[in-house]
């Protein structure tokens, strides 16, 4: 036991948490850790996307690549389904 605070000349005692003595079943917080990492990575990805979109050359390249992909998908759909 540790003395967490003093009240006058008396020590207020706080018990140290011991997982071996816990009456509740053990819980693994891996899901929350995974969520935390995903949020952190998403913030970095969002920052990179915003930074790339702010650059005029990157913006032109992004639009050109999207247009090329859209034309290709349109061509494939036209060739497969209509012709």
pLDDT at 5: 62
Q: What is the pLDDT of residues 68-80, one digit of tens each?
A: 999 999 999 999 9
CB distance 12 to 6 below 8 Å = yes
pLDDT at 45: 80
pLDDT at 60: 96
Q: Which residues of the chain are under the pLDDT cut of 50?
A: 1
Diameter over CA atoms, the chain: 92
Place of tokens 């036991």: 1
- What is the DSSP track for 20-39? GG-SSPP---HHHHHHHHHH
- How far, in whole angstroms, is CA 42 from its chain's centroid? 5
- Report the sign of the C-alpha dihedral through residues 65, 67, 70, 75, in that order: negative
């Amino acid at each position: 036991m540790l003395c967490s605070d003093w009240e006058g000349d008396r020590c207020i005692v706080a018990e140290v948490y011991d997982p071996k003595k816990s009456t509740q079943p053990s819980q693994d917080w891996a899901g929350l850790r995974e969520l935390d990492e995903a949020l952190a990575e998403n913030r970095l990805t969002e920052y990179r996307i915003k930074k790339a979109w702010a650059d005029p050359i990157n913006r032109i390249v992004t639009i050109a690549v999207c247009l090329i992909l859209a034309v290709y998908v349109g061509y494939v759909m036209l060739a497969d389904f209509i012709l």
